[in-house]
Amino acid sequence: MRSLSGIQPSGQLHLGNYLGYVRPNIERHKTVDIGFIMIADLHALTTVQDPEKLKANINDMMLDLLCCGFDFSKTVIFRQSLIPEHAELMWILATVSPMGLLERAVSYKEKVERGIGGSVGLFAYPVLQTADIVLYEVNKVPVGKDQQQHVEIARDIAIKFNNTYGDILIVPEGEVQKEVAVVPGTDGQKMSKSYGNTITLFGPEADIKKAIMGIKTDS
Protein backbone atom coordinates (compact mmCIF):
# COMPACT_ATOMS: atom_id res chain seq x y z
CA MET A 1 0.00 0.00 0.00
CA ARG A 2 1.15 3.52 -0.81
CA SER A 3 0.33 6.74 1.03
CA LEU A 4 0.82 10.36 -0.04
CA SER A 5 0.53 13.63 1.81
CA GLY A 6 1.81 17.10 1.07
CA ILE A 7 2.79 20.21 2.98
CA GLN A 8 3.22 23.72 1.60
CA PRO A 9 6.50 25.58 2.19
CA SER A 10 4.66 28.81 2.98
CA GLY A 11 6.65 29.31 6.19
CA GLN A 12 8.74 27.51 8.79
CA LEU A 13 7.58 24.18 10.20
CA HIS A 14 5.84 24.86 13.49
CA LEU A 15 4.48 23.03 16.51
CA GLY A 16 1.01 22.67 14.97
CA ASN A 17 2.54 21.11 11.83
CA TYR A 18 4.45 18.62 13.94
CA LEU A 19 1.50 17.45 16.06
CA GLY A 20 -1.11 17.59 13.29
CA TYR A 21 0.94 16.45 10.29
CA VAL A 22 4.46 15.19 10.93
CA ARG A 23 3.90 12.87 13.89
CA PRO A 24 0.77 11.20 12.42
CA ASN A 25 2.66 10.55 9.16
CA ILE A 26 5.64 9.07 11.01
CA GLU A 27 3.25 6.59 12.64
CA ARG A 28 1.32 5.93 9.40
CA HIS A 29 4.46 5.12 7.46
CA LYS A 30 5.14 2.23 9.81
CA THR A 31 2.13 0.44 8.31
CA VAL A 32 2.55 1.16 4.56
CA ASP A 33 4.92 -0.17 1.91
CA ILE A 34 6.02 3.35 0.96
CA GLY A 35 4.94 6.79 2.11
CA PHE A 36 5.46 9.94 0.03
CA ILE A 37 5.87 13.36 1.65
CA MET A 38 5.60 16.11 -0.95
CA ILE A 39 6.90 19.63 -0.39
CA ALA A 40 4.15 21.32 -2.41
CA ASP A 41 6.01 24.35 -3.76
CA LEU A 42 3.81 24.64 -6.86
CA HIS A 43 0.78 24.98 -4.60
CA ALA A 44 2.65 27.50 -2.47
CA LEU A 45 2.91 29.84 -5.47
CA THR A 46 -0.73 30.79 -4.89
CA THR A 47 0.33 32.63 -1.71
CA VAL A 48 4.14 33.05 -1.77
CA GLN A 49 5.39 34.83 -4.88
CA ASP A 50 8.71 36.20 -3.63
CA PRO A 51 11.28 33.87 -5.29
CA GLU A 52 13.94 34.26 -2.60
CA LYS A 53 11.48 33.75 0.24
CA LEU A 54 10.01 30.66 -1.41
CA LYS A 55 13.46 29.20 -2.04
CA ALA A 56 14.42 29.74 1.61
CA ASN A 57 11.11 28.21 2.78
CA ILE A 58 11.68 25.10 0.64
CA ASN A 59 15.20 24.57 1.98
CA ASP A 60 14.07 25.11 5.58
CA MET A 61 11.13 22.75 5.15
CA MET A 62 13.32 19.98 3.75
CA LEU A 63 15.85 20.32 6.58
CA ASP A 64 13.11 20.41 9.23
CA LEU A 65 11.42 17.28 7.87
CA LEU A 66 14.74 15.44 7.74
CA CYS A 67 15.21 16.21 11.45
CA CYS A 68 11.79 14.98 12.55
CA GLY A 69 12.45 11.24 12.70
CA PHE A 70 10.98 9.64 9.57
CA ASP A 71 12.07 6.09 8.69
CA PHE A 72 13.68 6.72 5.30
CA SER A 73 13.53 3.07 4.34
CA LYS A 74 9.78 3.69 4.00
CA THR A 75 9.54 7.44 3.40
CA VAL A 76 10.33 9.49 0.30
CA ILE A 77 10.45 13.27 0.74
CA PHE A 78 10.52 15.21 -2.51
CA ARG A 79 9.98 18.66 -4.01
CA GLN A 80 6.90 18.87 -6.21
CA SER A 81 8.28 21.24 -8.86
CA LEU A 82 11.25 18.99 -9.63
CA ILE A 83 8.82 16.46 -11.13
CA PRO A 84 7.49 18.14 -14.31
CA GLU A 85 4.85 15.42 -14.71
CA HIS A 86 2.81 17.11 -11.96
CA ALA A 87 2.11 20.17 -14.13
CA GLU A 88 1.80 18.11 -17.31
CA LEU A 89 -0.76 15.75 -15.83
CA MET A 90 -2.64 18.67 -14.30
CA TRP A 91 -3.29 20.08 -17.78
CA ILE A 92 -4.51 16.73 -19.09
CA LEU A 93 -6.84 16.32 -16.11
CA ALA A 94 -8.06 19.91 -16.51
CA THR A 95 -9.45 19.05 -19.94
CA VAL A 96 -11.90 16.59 -18.36
CA SER A 97 -12.57 18.45 -15.07
CA PRO A 98 -16.08 19.98 -14.93
CA MET A 99 -16.17 23.69 -14.04
CA GLY A 100 -19.11 23.07 -11.73
CA LEU A 101 -17.04 20.64 -9.68
CA LEU A 102 -14.31 23.22 -9.07
CA GLU A 103 -16.82 25.97 -8.34
CA ARG A 104 -18.10 23.90 -5.41
CA ALA A 105 -14.67 23.77 -3.75
CA VAL A 106 -15.07 25.29 -0.29
CA SER A 107 -11.33 25.96 0.15
CA TYR A 108 -11.25 28.42 -2.77
CA LYS A 109 -14.05 30.51 -1.29
CA GLU A 110 -12.51 30.46 2.18
CA LYS A 111 -9.09 31.58 0.94
CA VAL A 112 -10.55 34.42 -1.11
CA GLU A 113 -12.53 35.56 1.94
CA ARG A 114 -9.25 35.65 3.89
CA GLY A 115 -7.75 38.04 1.36
CA ILE A 116 -5.82 35.66 -0.92
CA GLY A 117 -6.09 36.76 -4.55
CA GLY A 118 -8.62 34.75 -6.55
CA SER A 119 -6.22 33.62 -9.26
CA VAL A 120 -6.77 30.91 -11.87
CA GLY A 121 -4.08 28.91 -10.08
CA LEU A 122 -5.99 29.06 -6.80
CA PHE A 123 -9.22 28.09 -8.56
CA ALA A 124 -7.56 25.13 -10.33
CA TYR A 125 -5.77 24.05 -7.13
CA PRO A 126 -7.87 20.82 -6.83
CA VAL A 127 -6.83 19.72 -10.32
CA LEU A 128 -3.13 19.97 -9.48
CA GLN A 129 -3.86 18.20 -6.20
CA THR A 130 -5.51 15.37 -8.15
CA ALA A 131 -2.43 15.09 -10.37
CA ASP A 132 -0.26 14.91 -7.23
CA ILE A 133 -2.29 11.98 -5.95
CA VAL A 134 -2.88 9.82 -9.02
CA LEU A 135 0.67 10.27 -10.34
CA TYR A 136 2.02 8.02 -7.57
CA GLU A 137 -0.74 5.41 -7.76
CA VAL A 138 -1.50 5.82 -4.08
CA ASN A 139 -4.35 3.94 -2.45
CA LYS A 140 -4.84 6.14 0.61
CA VAL A 141 -4.68 9.90 1.11
CA PRO A 142 -4.61 10.90 4.80
CA VAL A 143 -6.69 14.03 5.39
CA GLY A 144 -8.35 15.94 8.18
CA LYS A 145 -12.13 16.33 8.20
CA ASP A 146 -11.82 19.86 6.80
CA GLN A 147 -9.89 18.54 3.78
CA GLN A 148 -12.12 15.59 2.94
CA GLN A 149 -13.70 17.46 0.02
CA HIS A 150 -10.28 17.66 -1.68
CA VAL A 151 -10.08 13.89 -1.99
CA GLU A 152 -13.71 13.65 -3.09
CA ILE A 153 -12.96 16.08 -5.93
CA ALA A 154 -9.84 14.06 -6.84
CA ARG A 155 -11.96 10.90 -6.98
CA ASP A 156 -14.51 12.58 -9.25
CA ILE A 157 -11.80 13.83 -11.63
CA ALA A 158 -10.06 10.43 -11.73
CA ILE A 159 -13.36 8.68 -12.47
CA LYS A 160 -14.15 11.22 -15.21
CA PHE A 161 -10.70 10.61 -16.74
CA ASN A 162 -11.15 6.82 -16.65
CA ASN A 163 -14.60 7.08 -18.22
CA THR A 164 -13.05 9.11 -21.05
CA TYR A 165 -9.77 7.28 -21.69
CA GLY A 166 -10.14 3.86 -20.11
CA ASP A 167 -9.30 2.31 -16.75
CA ILE A 168 -5.90 3.97 -16.30
CA LEU A 169 -5.85 5.85 -13.00
CA ILE A 170 -6.23 4.41 -9.51
CA VAL A 171 -9.20 6.15 -7.90
CA PRO A 172 -7.89 7.29 -4.49
CA GLU A 173 -9.62 6.92 -1.16
CA GLY A 174 -9.50 9.46 1.64
CA GLU A 175 -8.36 8.24 5.02
CA VAL A 176 -9.84 10.66 7.54
CA GLN A 177 -7.60 11.08 10.55
CA LYS A 178 -9.77 10.50 13.61
CA GLU A 179 -7.49 12.14 16.14
CA VAL A 180 -5.77 15.18 14.70
CA ALA A 181 -4.19 17.66 17.06
CA VAL A 182 -5.50 21.21 16.62
CA VAL A 183 -2.91 23.40 18.29
CA PRO A 184 -3.89 26.95 19.30
CA GLY A 185 -1.55 29.67 18.12
CA THR A 186 -0.10 32.49 20.17
CA ASP A 187 -3.29 34.53 19.61
CA GLY A 188 -5.74 31.75 20.48
CA GLN A 189 -6.70 30.91 16.88
CA LYS A 190 -5.61 27.70 15.17
CA MET A 191 -1.83 27.79 14.76
CA SER A 192 -1.18 28.64 11.12
CA LYS A 193 1.60 30.19 9.06
CA SER A 194 -1.09 32.28 7.36
CA TYR A 195 -2.05 33.87 10.69
CA GLY A 196 1.52 34.61 11.83
CA ASN A 197 0.79 33.02 15.22
CA THR A 198 3.17 30.05 15.16
CA ILE A 199 5.88 28.63 17.39
CA THR A 200 8.52 27.21 15.06
CA LEU A 201 10.21 23.87 15.71
CA PHE A 202 13.77 24.78 14.82
CA GLY A 203 13.83 28.57 14.83
CA PRO A 204 16.29 30.75 16.76
CA GLU A 205 15.90 30.40 20.52
CA ALA A 206 15.24 34.12 20.95
CA ASP A 207 12.41 34.06 18.40
CA ILE A 208 10.79 31.00 19.98
CA LYS A 209 11.01 32.56 23.46
CA LYS A 210 9.50 35.81 22.17
CA ALA A 211 6.59 33.93 20.58
CA ILE A 212 5.90 31.95 23.76
CA MET A 213 6.10 34.98 26.02
CA GLY A 214 3.67 36.80 23.76
CA ILE A 215 0.88 34.23 24.23
CA LYS A 216 -2.30 35.80 25.57
CA THR A 217 -3.33 34.29 28.88
CA ASP A 218 -6.12 34.80 31.37
CA SER A 219 -4.85 37.23 34.00
How far the first Cα of the chain sits from its last, in Å, is: 51
> Exactly one of 178, 193, 209, 210 is catalytic; which is it?
193
Q: Is 30 a catalytic residue?
A: no
Distance of CA 106 to CAs 1, 85, 111, 147, 210, Å?
A: 29, 26, 9, 9, 35
Q: Is 210 a catalytic residue?
A: no
Q: Is 53 a catalytic residue?
A: no
Quick one: which of 139, 135, 137, 173 has its CA closest to 155?
173
Name the amino acid, one letter, at 194.
S
3-state secondary structure of 76: strand
> Exactly one of 74, 109, 111, 145 is catalytic; which is it?
111
> Exactly one of 30, 109, 190, 209 is catalytic; which is it?
190
Active site residues: 111, 190, 193
